[in-house]
Amino acid sequence: MKTEVLTIDPHSPQPDRIARAAEVLRAGGLVAFPTETVYGLGANALSEEAVRRIFEAKGRPANNPLIVHVADLSVAQSITAEWPPAADALARAFWPGPLALILPRRPCIPDVVTGGGSTVAVRVPAHRVALDLLRAANMPIAAPSANRSNHLSPTRAEHVLRGLEGRIDLILDGGPTTGGLESTVVDVSVQPPQLLRPGLLPPGILETYLGPVVRAQRTRRQGELLPAPGMLQRHYAPRTPLECNDDDGWERVRTLTAQGLKVGWMTLAGKSVEETSGVDVRCMPTRAEDYGSQLFAVLHELDQAHLDRIVVELPPATEEWLAVRDRLLRAATTD
Ligand code: TXA
Ligand code: MG
């Protein structure tokens, strides 16, 4: 299959290009498109056959369910069987936006979307291209991140192409995504609600709407029964082995380079950094939000740089860094 790439204006999407993508979706095809978080790989969520193609293209295990993207709250209600107060409060506060809500599903959503489970993840994305596409196609769109399973999420069309060229029909290239980290995933089908994946929503903000939120533990291993399949340890990893350090990691970098290894070092900006041959240094932003928006792009770049190792200085273990640390620790996991 040849993958077509159409550039599109992220602020004022050309209607003919949106129409072309909607036509591909209606025909059961796969379209990658930008959202405010990362690029998604979309298919008609109501078509079992179309959704099956997503799993094939990504090499994704069938037990890992997909987020269904919808144009607005009323479409979300039409595919969910219950709409508890917590869902209503969060949807009204944060949609369109980087929040996926887990709710009991209606039978119109095929098993393949939910991994056979009784709940479905829904979200209204805050990106003009995604919203115009949802309206033009006039269907809910199932869309995981547009990467091969277990690899890094894509924040640019070129990342999508690198992983999925020849495996999907079309990419709408709307330039780099602004958010850079995936959405926050909250299970509101249980009481109290459970944070399954920290993400782009400002940390701590859920509590102001919900009161206490239970945080799922990041300790499950592949193969175990998964209440939240997104809790798989290794989920966002570069191919180059990556290790996290609680200190700045410089000693570790020196040790590795002394062994003749080529090393990438992701350190927090603001200190003076010695030039050392064999070290590819990336000074990362000291604001969590800026760090998050660049994280995957930097990891993609380092992963292309033929390095033996990536050494990361972990940002502090505070609330504001929760999502960034989550992605870094997963990227470092080898099981
Ligand atoms: O920002 C995002 O959420 C991006 C863009 C494209 O919207 N999408 C994304 O999808 O990150 P994906 O498939 O890479 O991650 C969805 C996460 C997975 O960890 C999945 O296991 C979890 O949501 N998930 C989906 N449906 C679920 C369900 N019914 N119950 C529990 N977890 C679910
Ligand atoms: Mg993903």
Q: Give the Cα-Cα-Cα angle 217, 220, 221 (nearest 5 degrees).
A: 160
Determine, yes or no, domain membership for 175: yes
Q: Nearest ligand, CA of residue 121?
A: 1
Q: Are residues 316 and 272 part of one domain?
A: yes
Each residue's pLDDT tens digit, 211-248? 888 887 654 444 433 445 555 555 678 999 999 999 99
Q: Are residues 54 and 202 part of one domain?
A: yes
For ligand 1, the distance from its centroid to the CA atom of residue 67, given in whole angstroms, is 5
pTM of the model as a whole:
0.95
Q: Which neighbouring-strand residues pair with 31?
A: 42, 170
Token pair recorded at residue 305: 């740089």
pLDDT class of 204 with cuts at 50, 70, 90: confident
Mutational pocket test of ligand 1: of 66, 67, 200, 222, the residue with most ligand atoms within 8 Å of the beta carbon: 67
- Split into its structural domains, the chain has a count of 2
Token pair recorded at residue 331: 């990227």
Q: Are residues 113 and 167 part of one domain?
A: yes
Determine, yes or no, domain membership for 323: yes
Q: Tell which residue, 181, 125, 175, has the closest CA to residue 152.
A: 181
Write down how long the chain is: 335
Mutational pocket test of ligand 1: of 30, 55, 66, 233, the residue with most ligand atoms within 8 Å of the beta carbon: 66
For ligand 1, the distance from its centroid to the CA atom of residue 321, given in whole angstroms, is 20
Q: Are residues 252 and 157 part of one domain?
A: no
**Where is the domain boundary, 198, 215, 232?**
215
Determine, yes or no, domain membership for 137: yes
Q: Are residues 259 and 122 part of one domain?
A: no
pLDDT (average), residues 266-270 = 93
Q: Give the Cα-Cα-Cα angle 310, 313, 318 (nearest 5 degrees).
A: 135
Determine the atom of ligand 1 nearest the C-alpha atom of 146: 6
pLDDT in the model for residue 13? 98
Q: Are residues 252 and 197 part of one domain?
A: no
Each residue's pLDDT tens digit, 15-45? 999 999 999 999 999 999 999 999 999 999 9
Beta strands in 87-142 (DSSP E): 99-104, 119-123, 141-142
**How far apart (Å, rounded) are the C-alpha atoms in residues 310 and 113?**
35
Q: Are residues 261 and 199 part of one domain?
A: no
Q: Are residues 175 and 254 part of one domain?
A: no
For ligand 1, the distance from its centroid to the CA atom of residue 60, given in whole angstroms, is 12
pLDDT in the model for residue 315? 97
Q: Are residues 262 and 146 part of one domain?
A: no
Reply yes or no on whether the pLDDT at 124 is more than 80. yes
pLDDT (average), residues 72-83 = 98
pLDDT in the model for residue 240? 95
Buried b (16+ CB within 10 A) or exposed e, 73-102: bebbbebbeebbebbeebbeebbbbbbbbb
**Where is the domain boundary, 215, 234, 256?**
215
Ranges 154-163, 267-276, 290-299: which has the least confidence: 267-276
* Residue nearest atom 7 of ligand 1, based on CA coordinates: 40
Determine the atom of ligand 1 nearest the C-alpha atom of 185: 23
For ligand 2, the distance from its centroid to the CA atom of residue 147, given in whole angstroms, is 7
Determine, yes or no, domain membership for 229: no
pLDDT (average), residues 107-125 = 97
* Residue nearest atom 13 of ligand 1, based on CA coordinates: 144
Run of H or E including 195:
strand 194-197
Run of H or E including 17:
helix 15-26
Token pair recorded at residue 295: 């994280």
**How far apart (Å, rounded) are the C-alpha atoms in residues 300 and 304?**
6
Q: Which domain holds residue 101?
A: 4-215
Q: Are residues 282 and 178 part of one domain?
A: no
Determine the atom of ligand 1 nearest the C-alpha atom of 37: 1
Determine the atom of ligand 1 nearest the C-alpha atom of 125: 7
pLDDT in the model for residue 323? 95
- 88 Cβ contact partners less than 8 Å away, ≥ 6 residues apart: none
Run of H or E including 40:
strand 39-44
Ranges 124-128, 296-300, 322-326, 329-333: which has the least confidence: 329-333
Percentage of residues of the chain with pLDDT beyond 90: 86
pLDDT in the model for residue 235? 63
> What residues flank ligand 1, with Cβ below 6 Å?
35, 37-38, 40, 64-67, 98, 100, 102, 114, 117, 119-121, 125, 143-145, 182-183, 185, 196-197, 228-230
Reply yes or no on whether the pLDDT at 78 is more than 90. yes
Q: Residue for token digits 């993400």?
A: 199
* Highest mean pLDDT pick, 65-69, 216-220, 224-228, 330-334: 65-69
**How far apart (Å, rounded) are the C-alpha atoms in residues 240 and 305?**
9
Determine, yes or no, domain membership for 309: yes
**How far apart (Å, rounded) are the C-alpha atoms in residues 203 and 209?**
12
Determine, yes or no, domain membership for 308: yes
- CATH number for the domain that contains residue 292: 3.40.50
322-332 and 288-303 helices, crossing angle to 10°: 20
Q: Are residues 157 and 64 part of one domain?
A: yes
**Where is the domain boundary, 157, 180, 215?**
215
Determine, yes or no, domain membership for 230: no
Reply yes or no on whether the pLDDT at 9 is more than 60. yes
- Cβ atoms of 7 and 16 within 8 Å: the answer is no
Determine, yes or no, domain membership for 231: no
Q: Are residues 119 and 194 part of one domain?
A: yes
- CATH number for the domain that contains residue 78: 3.90.870.10
Q: Tell which residue, 133, 71, 132, 142, has the closest CA to residue 108.
A: 142
- Cβ atoms of 206 and 215 within 8 Å: the answer is no
